[in-house]
Amino acid sequence: MNHLQQRAAFIWGVILVTGAKLWLTSEIRIVPLFMPHDAENYVEHARDILGGAWFGAYSDLTLIKEPFYPIYLALVHETGLTLPVATTLVYALACVIACIAVRPLVRNGFVLLAMYVVLLFNPMTFGDLAWMVSRSELNDSLALFTVACAMAIFVRRRSSLRGLLVWWVGLGLSLGAFWLTREESIWILPCLIVILGAYIVSIRRDPALVRKLCALAIPIAIWALSEEAIARINQHVYGWHVVVETKAPEFVSAYNSLARIVPDKPVDLTPVPRSSRNIAYRVSPAARELRAGLDGQNGNAWTQMVCKANVRLSCNDIPGSFFVWAFRDSVQIAGHYSSGSDARDFYLRLAREIDAACDSGAIRCTRKATTIFPNPTLSQIPDFLTTFHDGVSMTTGFSDWSLGHNLAPVNRVLEGQYAFVTGSILQDVQVFQGWLATDRAMDIALEGPAGIVPIEGVLRSPSGDVAASLERGGHRRWEDQNARFAFAADCLSGCFFLVTDPQKHQVKIPIDIQAPNFATLHVIYHLDSAISPAVSYNYQLKEGTLFMIDVIYHDVVPLWVLLAAMLLLGRTVRAIMKARVTVPSPPDVLSVGVVLGGGLLIAILAVLTLSYSAAYSAEYLGSFVPLMLFALSLTTAVEGRLALRALRLRLRGDPT
């Protein structure tokens, strides 16, 4: 089969495999959740963008996260696609770009298609995060886009500058979007430095060296301009030249001024314990304005919410990294979020007053940090190594992945805006069956916490069996001939039958399978069942297939990583022993870059876990997985071709 035929096979294969992925994940729906600092925040911002109001009215929640994801949500809405479908297609496009990027190394269309399949069916893309409005789902694609563009530049290093231009621009756009999606995006830089560093070394004798080096300015300029554009818009709309307020120098300074106070009673995993706050209240008028928020109902709410979810955290103070949000809430409660300039000025005043007290010796303080990232100590090294190992195991073994969704119940109040932005929300319904008889004609309705609940089905259907039973019990004249009900309703809890007689007297009957019987002098009720709708054969087939895919990755990838690591280590040792310094092969360059980038990500999360109990999760680690699969599949494709060629030569008896 010639190259054109193989290319056609690859294209048709991509179409068919992508269609299969879309079908297998077609049951995924977005779950509307009450998450004002995360999913709900993105949805509200996207809705405001679509309404022409940028990120909406200014508050402490307006500029708390990187801005690209709500922009992406607004773009998806404009396409008419649902969010799950759009996210799947964007990831599929990233996988295609990755394959195209290394096509000069993998010319066999079927091998390239196998790489695409490995990347596309990454289990992280159809786990519980896929059921959420989660920026991490987009981040997986952006990470792969970014590294693929860098690899394309390195693989095509002998091409003309014009031939590389589209990849340089692609690198800048994808890196800019990636950087504006999550706050810990710095982890991808080691990977890019290794790849582009190898590119620079490999073109050192190229006649067009200067021009090709100048091309490095293209992605850097796009990256910097994207940051500056967002900051200028925020300056114009809100009065603060900043992209994310938690990275703003004014906020970081205020936070670290509080965190540097030496507490009378330190609390583990609590950056600013109550005793530190009491000292701040004594020396700073600005800090005193925060007392109502930090030590009142707001602070107590954060304390109780977080400590119940994590046994390592104190239930007597605001724990972990959540102090950041309690702190910002308190500034809002104190009335300093009327505008960006107002909030900025308050943070400056707070930092100035506390630092002055520290510098004068009025209170005991440590050296002031320059970021809100915790500073690990030497005594934490053993724990860090253990935690780092756990992160590596979790990432390579897909141990934090779950099929379907195990999320909180759907929030009905937010259902409308989620549906508007995402175009696809989960409808949690139950099917109720039973009977309800009355001693006279009465109206029956189903009510929930928000009022009348619409149903699909009937509240009254023929019930000869019920009538016969009631007659035997002495209820001969009851309204029992149409007492049976069978309906589906979006009503998981807090629902009841409202039975109203002609005199407008009402009886409320809670619908609870744990209490299936209810009776008064005028009403008799029995609930036979309250079950979820029957799962279709198609749903079972899809879920079973996805589960088997996960099992394959779970069993194969750890061994695959081990073999690839041994191969890379062996080649490195052999090169050192021969004292031969050459530019590594593209698979080795990608592997080293991915290892360093992933190592930095896991290290960052390990420090956060030790300092703030911010546990590892698929949300934080998932963006590294496509790069790991990219490196593994490319290494296997290239090394497999070389091994096959060597085997053929050996079989032919060729001494070379």
- For the stretch 181-219, pLDDT in tens is 999 999 999 999 999 999 999 998 888 889 899 999 999
Closest CA to 291 of 238, 249, 339, 350: 350
Domain range enclosing 9: 3-146+538-652
In order of 50, 143, 189, the CA distances from 180 in angstroms are: 19, 12, 14
pLDDT band per the 50, 70, 90 thresholds, residue 405? low
How is the beta sheet containing 496-500 ordered, strand by strand?
Answer: 451-452, 443-448, 496-500, 506-510
Is 443 within a domain?
yes
pLDDT tens figures, 540-567 = 788 889 989 988 999 999 999 998 888 8
Is 311 within a domain?
yes
Domain final position from 319, 339, 366: 366
Judgement on whether residues 499 and 605 belong to the same structural domain of the protein: no
Is 219 within a domain?
no
Q: What is the pLDDT of residue 214?
A: 92
Residue 395 has pLDDT above 80, yes or no: yes
b/e per residue 519-553 (b: at least 16 CB within 10 A): eeeebbbbbeebeeeeeeeeeeebbeebeebbeeb
Judgement on whether residues 557 and 525 belong to the same structural domain of the protein: no
Q: Distance between CA 473 and CA 624 in Å, rounded?
A: 68
Strand pairing report for 455-461 and 451-452:
unpaired
Judgement on whether residues 546 and 526 belong to the same structural domain of the protein: no
Judgement on whether residues 23 and 122 belong to the same structural domain of the protein: yes
Judgement on whether residues 524 and 545 belong to the same structural domain of the protein: no
Percent of the chain predicted with pLDDT > 70: 90
3-state secondary structure 487-514: EEECCCCCCEEEEECCCCCEEEEECCCC
Judgement on whether residues 305 and 360 belong to the same structural domain of the protein: yes
Which position has the higher pLDDT, 390 or 612?
390
Phi-psi region of 457 (alpha: psi -120 to 50; beta: other; left: phi over 0): left
Q: What is the pLDDT of residue 641?
A: 76
- φ, ψ of residue 132 to 5 degrees: the values are -115, 165
Domain final position from 532, 560, 594: 532
β-sheet bridge partners, residue 365 = 261
Is 452 within a domain?
yes
- Polymer length in residues for the chain: 656
- Mean pLDDT for the stretch of residues 38-55: 93
